[in-house]
Amino acid sequence: MRAFRMHDWLTEPVLTEVDVPEPGPGQVLVRIGGAGVCHSDLHVFREFEPGRMPWRLPFTLGHENAGWVESVGAGVTGLDPGMPVAVYGPWGCGACDRCLRGVETYCERPRDAPVPLGGAGLGLDGGMADYLLVPHARHVVPLPDGLDPVTAAPLTDAGLTPYHAVRRSWSKLTATATAVIIGVGGLGHLAVQVVKATTAARVVAVDTRPEALELARRLGADVTLRPGDGVAEVVRDETRGRGADVVVDCVGNDETLALAASVARVLGDLTIVGLGGGRLPVSFFAMPFELSVQTTYWGSRPELVEVLALASRGLLHTEVTRFSLDDVAQAYRRLEEGTLTGRAVVTP
């Protein structure tokens, strides 16, 4: 089968031929229908130096995956060949308190996991291939009716990550609240929808690209702004001088973090989702009082079920640009150039 694999650090992955894996006891072989192209992969093969992560090469990229059950190993029940499924990407030990709650992103015994701090496409073979071997059936989630693998694949990260970030701030997203989403890309265009679908709050979307702002308006954003449009002043005007109750930064560089702090409200939440590498200076008067600042990583398996349910009801729409597996390198180039709207999905 074909697979887009990293063979060495700080080098471009290549499409190569490998054997189709056979599922062992408790394992599931998934025929890939869609694999999302994520900006974090660029960090993996452009910036990760030898020794930075406890991962062994080579491995296949692709941590946003959905498809159909091809075959199962001994002991697997409830997953029949041909069943459409999504794959929960982070793979923990399965036995610690966090894993038992379905929060394998925060596994407390990573040395007992299949690979420390990783999962599909992150230290282990992912879904940029014709087939993906999932090491445990608990990571395979049947798709609800009306949801196909191509549109479901990005929901496993680009949908799940902002859903987790927004969900933890639900108590602050009341009918009088305002949420600011910074960056309307693969994650941000879904973050806008998550707020609108699960809360009564108003949404202000911020992006540098006119096409991204147009997408945000189509998906329900109440106000759309470019960073140079006096964002902080507009947000203050829109909120009667109070500021945003919740800010989700899907970029995470120095400029967007400074913007996020400038629009946030006293007692608000600022959640950093993007991996832009920025820093947020903290001092007594540097930000609103009791502003809670947090980073999040992915989301839980139960939350993925909730995200898929929202999408199957038509409450989440994934803006998808499709690429064949033969064109996967082009998809990453387009992502790096910033010429994609929504999420790129590789469809073997």
5-42 residue pLDDT tens: 999 999 999 999 999 999 999 999 999 999 999 999 99
Q: Any idea which architecture 2-157+299-346 has in CATH?
A: Alpha-Beta Complex (3.90)
Taking residues 268-286, report their average pLDDT. 93
Average pLDDT over residues 49-56: 89
Give tens-digit pLDDT for 60-115.
999 999 999 999 999 999 999 999 999 999 999 999 999 999 999 999 999 999 99
Question: Which CATH architecture does the domain made up of 161-295 adopt?
Answer: 3-Layer(aba) Sandwich (3.40)
227-255 mean pLDDT: 94
What predicted TM-score, i.e. pTM, was given to this entire model?
0.95
Q: What are the Cα distances from residue 22, in Å, to 60, 125, 132, 206, 348?
A: 16, 13, 10, 46, 19
**Cα–Cα distance, 191 to 250 (Å, whole number):** 9
Mean pLDDT of the region 145-173 = 97
What are the DSSP E strand ranges found in 233-305? Answer: 244-249, 264-272, 292-295
Please give the average per-residue pLDDT across 308-325, as a whole number: 96
Over range 221-226, report the average pLDDT.
97
Cα–Cα distance, 175 to 177 (Å, whole number): 6
Indicate if the pLDDT at residue 117 is higher than 90.
Answer: no
Residue 260 binned pLDDT confidence (cut-offs 50, 70, 90): very high
Task: Let me know: does 38 contact 89? Beta carbons within 8 Å.
Answer: no
DSSP assignment letter at 144: P
Q: Fill in the amino acid letter for 79.
A: L
**Does residue 185 contact residue 323 with C-beta atoms inside 8 Å?**
no
Domains in the chain: boundaries: 2-157+299-346, 161-295
Where residue 89 falls (left for φ over 0; alpha for ψ -120 to 50; beta otherwise) is alpha
pLDDT at residue 228 is higher than 90: no
Q: Could you tell me how many residues make up the chain? A: 348
